[in-house]
Amino acid sequence: MHERRRLYINGNWIEPTGEGSIEVINPTNEEVIGSVPVSSDSDVNAAVEAARSAFTDWSTTEVSERVEFLNRISSLIKDRSEELAEIITAEVGTPIGYSRMAMVGTPRVVSRSYAKILDGYVWEEEVRNSLVIKEPIGVVAMITPWNFPLHQIIGKVAPAIAAGCTMVLKPSKEAPLNAFLLADILDDVGLPDGVFNLISGHGRDIGETLCSHPMVDMVSFTGSTSAGIRVSELAAPSVKRVTLELGGKSANIILDDADIQRAATSAIYSCFGNSGQECSALTRLLVPEDSRDEVVEVISNKIERYTVGDPTDESSKCGPLVSKRQQESVSSYISSGIEQGATLVAGGEGMPDGLGSGFFVKPTVFADVTPDMTIFREEIFGPVLCITSYSSEEEAVELANDSEYGLSGGVWSGNEERAMRVAKMLRTGQVSINGGAFNVTAPFGGYKQSGLGRELGVHGMEEFLEIKSIQR
C-alpha cells in the first residue's frame, strides 16, 4: 500500500488540516493500492504563501543553478524509473512497457531538454531605444490529469523551474501517487524551500480555491474542455494568465497515394495508445472511398492480435481504463455508435473475452462513420477508432477540420510535398506526416476548444515569462 498522509509545503512534509483521504484504485483488479490526503483551503493558502515567499530569491537565481537542478531531476527520475513506471501502471492501467517509455522516459528527457534550452537562451535584447527583458511570471498553480500523470506534471514543473517561477501542484485524484514520489525526488534534489509545493484533493474544492487565489499569477491546467472553461472563469476576475491543454478529436488522413498497409497499421497505434486515453489520439481515420475496404481489412486483421489484459504482462498492448466511470462512459459511446448505424468492424459492447473484473472495454473499430454521429464529434477517450470515407482531398480536409477541437492530426501520402500542403491546411496544433515521431522540444497545444498556449520546448517555457520594456 502506498499511503501518503502528508503534504509537501515549503520544503517539508506536513500534516494536512483537511479531513479524510482519497483512495487510489488499481483499475486492473479494482483493489485499493494507496491513498492521499484531502487538503483544505488552509493548506492551499499555506502552499501559495510558501511559493510567494520563495519567489523573490528563486526568480533571481543564476541560470546555471537552474540548469543543475533540471539535470539532477532528470538523473533521479532515471534512477527511480522502474518504481515510477510500476506506480503509474498500477494507478492508470498503462501497459508496463509504455509506462517505462512514455510515462517515465519522456518526462526524464523533457527535464533534461530544459537544461539545454537554458544554455544560450536570450533573456534581454535591444529594440531601438528599449531594453526588452524576459522575467518569470511569479507563482504558478498547476492542475494535472491522470492519463499521462508524470509527463504532464514535468511538462509544467520543468519549464517553470527553468523560467524562475515557484509553483503549487494539484495532481489528479485518480493518479496522484506518482506526484508524491516526484515530490520526494525534488526534495532529494534540494530545491529551495517553497519553490515546489504539493497539495492533493478534489478539483471542485481546492482546485477552485487555487485557480481563484489572489496570490497566484498563472494557472497551467490540463484536462477536459469543460473543466478548462471553469478554470478560465475562476481566473478571470484577477486577470491571471491561463494556459489550457484540453480535449481533442483528431483526424488521421490517408491520401490516395499513401502506403495503405503501413498507414492503416499505424492508425491502430495512433488511436489505441494508453488504451485510447490520450488527448492527442488520432481517433478519426479519414480514408479514400476506393480504399475503404482495404483499410478495413488491414485493421480488422491486425486488431485480432491487439492483446488486452493485465498491464503488468509485457505482452499486453491494451490495459484497462482508469476508472469505473471512464469504463461506463466509453461503453456508452460504443453503444451509441452501434445504435446510430456505424458499421462495427471489431470490438463492441461488453468486457473483452476472458476478463471478468477490471475497468476494461474491447478495443473497438467502426467504419462508415458520418459527421452527424456522436462518435464522430465527441471525444471518447478510450480505444475507439472511427473510420470515415471521403471522395476528394478537399473533402478530407473539410472533414478533418469539422470539429470544435484542434489538438493533433496526421497525414499519410507517398508524396511528402503533398502531405505537407495538406498538413498546413489542418486547423490543429500539431500534425504528423507519415507517422513522424513526437518531438519533446516542439510546442504542444491546440487550436479552438483544444486549449490556449503551448507546452514543451522554448515556447512552453515562454508561457511562464513576462516581458518588460525599459526605454532610455
Listed residue (242, 184, 197, 200) closest to 218, CA to CA? 242
Strand ranges in 203-277 using DSSP code E only, listed in sequence order: 218-222, 241-245, 251-254
Active site residue 86: no
Q: Which three cell numbers stand for residue 413?
A: 501520402
First to last CA, the chain: 62
Residue pair 320/327 in contact (Cβ under 8 Å)? The answer is yes
Active site residue 245: yes
- Active-site annotation holder among 91, 245, 278, 455: 245
Q: Which three cell numbers stand for residue 406?
A: 484542434
- Active-site annotation holder among 165, 211, 271, 279: 279
Q: Which three cell numbers stand for residue 58?
A: 528563486
Residue pair 339/296 in contact (Cβ under 8 Å)? The answer is no
Residue found under cell 480488422: 300
d(CA 266, CA 385): 12
| Helix, strand or coil, per DSSP, at residue 2 | strand
Give a three-class secondary structure readout of 270-319: HHHHHHHCCCCCCCEEEEEHHHHHHHHHHHHHHHCCCCECCCCCCCCCEC
Residue pair 456/443 in contact (Cβ under 8 Å)? The answer is yes
Bridge partners, residue 343, by sequence: 367
Bridge partners, residue 411, by sequence: 253, 433
d(CA 275, CA 94): 7
- For the four alpha carbons of 84, 88, 94 and 96, in that order, the dihedral sign comes to positive
| Helix, strand or coil, per DSSP, at residue 182 | helix
| Helix, strand or coil, per DSSP, at residue 238 | helix
Residue pair 162/154 in contact (Cβ under 8 Å)? The answer is no
Alpha-helical runs (H) found in 28-103: 41-58, 63-79, 81-92, 96-98
Catalytic site positions: 245, 279
